[in-house]
Structure 1
Amino acid sequence: MDTVALLASMVGLTPREGAPRFAAAGIPVFPCKPAQKRPLTEHGFHDATTDAEQVARWWTQWPQANIGMPTGHASGLEVVDVDVHGAVRGFAAFELARREGLADRWQALVKTASGGMHAYYPADPDRAQPSWQAARSGIDFRGEGGYVIVPPSLVLFEGNRSAYELIGAGRGESVPIDGAALRAFLDPKPASVSTPTTNSRRDVEVERIAAWLATRPEGERNRALYWAACRLAENGVTDQSARTALGPAAQHAGLGQSEVLTTIRSAYRTVAAPTSPLQSRGAQAVARPINGQVIS
């Protein structure tokens, strides 16, 4: 059974009923506290197994337990976690990464309890990728050393139990994601540019950032603009001033005016965290339909 079919088969089940299906499909699982994400076993995701008898014992002992799945080589799956909590909204950053071809070949999309999203990708058996966080962008990567909660688990969020559920499938063949490239796009750190620290230095640093941006080659210019706009936003530069300072530099590097405006706007939304158009539509903004419809 493929990943999408497996996740789709969880509709209407309880976690106790769903856990054996993951194990039978060769995906190791372990129990987590009811309505929570914390493991119930001593070694957490290291205890995950496909052994049917052990899975049955766990969910007999804890019938309301949620289902945890280790990511990376253990399950053959890696997950991009689009966060939604507090001021953080990760959908805009995920959409930018998708447009750049860094996150667009997923297997499945799962709605999380907070209204965020998990994008599932096949793990490359020849490349181990560690888990990491890009907190400013609202994106986490779950690879080696990580785990996620899977459908049909329910997690308490803002006083209500909300289900993890499949909302979409990939279009075309899914491919492993390059976690290092995605991280560099979401949080690039060019050594040649320093972040402004005082008002007296701000104008000089904006000029230096713009000059650096203007020299970026194809393949780097969009993420460089996103990084530059985020830095200006974090240091109190208005979005209009950012467009004035960075727009000509980005266009000199080869970006079109529409793309420049969209990228700067997305960076400011990520930093300032108002509700973005992507977030207002929820995870379905980037969902792919299954058999012509989105499963919810």
Structure 2
Amino acid sequence: MFDDIILFIKLVEVGSFSQLAKLLNSSQATVSRRIQSLEENLGVTLLNRNQRHLEVTHDGQMLYEQFKKPATNLESSWRLVCEELQDELQGTIRLALTTEGARDIILPKLQDFLNEHPRARLHVTFTTQAIHLVKQHYDIAISSSLPESATHTVTILSKFKFKPYASPEYIKKYGAPTNLDELLTHRCIGSLGFAGEENNNYKAENLKTGEEKIISYTSRLYMDTTSHAAIVAKHGEFITGAWDAVVTNEVARGELVEILPDYSFFEIPCFLVRKAGVTSKLEQTFAEFIIKVFNESLHNKMNPLTEPL
């Protein structure tokens, strides 16, 4: 019965029979049958089932609240015991990346982690969805927004600033704007939102004075990924906005030059999101690795390279 209680806890957190069956590599009928057996053993109704969603009853909520922490701790403790019996860390970490800046910081370093832990595996997913580690079956996420659920622990890794950049060829051909009004007369790549909508209004913040100003700009070229826009900008025909963490190497190599360095047009935080409670040594080690990589990136940004890579 305790196995079925743990199954019920997971079902409430995932919110779907089919999704839970998929995560457990089982069938929806098997999961449903075990939950029904648990209800019969307890003599209560735990769920009101309908086609749209699961509705947890009062009895079901009471069972969930009583057992969710012990169930989580039991699972985590089992993982820790297994790791203690192993010669080295092994297993799979499922990582979700939701921010472009995080992708460009962490992806080049993943092989370092794999080299250090040869029996570890990484599953990396790129997503723009709001993060819920349990429902989406991730272990760790790097996200620009806080998770909706309180069953997570969150650490801030960095803050990214969206700033304008141009290539030396562009500056030689068209000149460099010296203020916001001049910027609006230049050839700039516009930004697309997640749904493909054009962003034509930007809030420019003076980083020295704190003064903010809304500027409007309509472009002939819009892109939704700043790393790709930076590639276009390096050819010398456009100014692009980019997250500072994304173009650190291009700036260090002299391929892009920061325009109007006193201004930022957006700022987004970058969070490390983990499940609350006890975690495995492998997950803890990987979280520490991520924090180290971000700290090194911040140090390099403050102390840029003086020679091309």
Q: Give the TM-score normalised by structure 1.
A: 0.27
Task: For CA contacts below 8 A with separation 6 or more, give which structure has more relative contact order.
Answer: 2
- Which of 1 and 2 has greater Rg? 2
